[in-house]
Amino acid sequence: MIRNWAWLNGNWIDAEVLAIPVWDAGFVFGATVTDLCRTINHRLFRWAEHVQRFSKSAQLCKIPLPYSCDELTATAQELVARQTTMLGPSEDLALVMFATPGSVTQYRPSIAPPNTTQSSGETLSTVGMHTFRLPLARYARYWREGFRLVTAPVAPPPPESVPRAAKHRSRLHYWLAQRFAEEICPGATALLCDTDGCLLETAFANLVLVRGNDLYSAPAERILPGVSLQCVAELAQRLGWKMHYRPLLAPDVAAAEEVFLTSSSFCLLPVSQLNEKRFPCPGPKAVRLMQAWSEMLAFDLLEQLSRAEVAAAASL
């Protein structure tokens, strides 16, 4: 039997039993840092950037990380090796890692095993990894149809309170924003705005506006530093285009010729509508960037989406 693996605090376990207790600070305080790295053709893509961001997120959020980047890398590579035995040749994985400060002592039942080191008595952090199959057929549909975005009147916590460079799971503001978007337009995705109206990002992707050969994203200090956003900037430079980082306001949307989202899980997907304005889907810059991405990898990302959609239809 092929097992579905996960890793928690140095131990390999069945993914079905992966959990943190309700007395863990990740649940009590929502104090969880995380990162997600996908595989492309069964190999982790830009893992070094992801694990470095994960380490920085832990530092920014004061969550002790008891494993080095090298140790996390070895674990991630082994997890992918174990999990790819379950995949078909056209499938890929997302690997999620997380860390919390560990148990909150006063919340822990007396019968629960202590989550402390035997030598010092200090509470241990909780660190885990798991994977899931990328929903490539779903991404294929979004490539054809695009995302519909609705700006939500919900701002993220100010950077003085929660560092925006940290990827974390304290996401109640995203939950509330998505509920607003669904009420306005069922099936839409919420786009967060800052207190000054600057367009920021969705819960899972960075936003890019396109006008001519110029690409625009929100200032780096206002958003999560996206690994895929950086990849888009590098590809744009190779293509002779220019990436700009500045506040994006309503007039910028009005002037935009196309819009897309970029994320580690799907690389790049188009936006067909932002509030009332519609955009080509996919737009020519999105198509060219995905072609360039595929050329860089020597792996056809769009063909992978097409094969996934065909396979999903055949299984119905």
Percent of all residues in the chain with a pLDDT value above 70, rounded to a whole number: 95
Q: How many alpha carbons fall within 13 Å on the CB side of residue 119?
A: 0
Phi, psi angle pair for 274, to nearest 5°: -125, 110
Distance CA(271)–CA(152), nearest Å, equals: 16
Q: What is the pLDDT of residues 117-146, one digit of tens each?
A: 434 445 689 999 999 999 999 999 999 999
Residue 234, pLDDT > 80, answer: yes
For range 225-232, the mean pLDDT? 97
* pLDDT at residue 218 in the model: 97
Domains of the chain: 5-134 (3.30.470.10), 139-308 (3.20.10.10)
State both tokens at 235.
Answer: 């590809």
For range 301-310, the mean pLDDT? 95
* pLDDT at residue 117 in the model: 43
Distance CA(155)–CA(142), nearest Å, equals: 26
Residue 271, pLDDT > 90, answer: yes
* pLDDT at residue 36 in the model: 98
Q: Indicate the pTM of the whole model.
A: 0.93
Q: What is the pLDDT of residues 288-297, one digit of tens each?
A: 999 999 999 9
Residue 114, pLDDT > 70, answer: no
Residue 264, pLDDT > 60, answer: yes
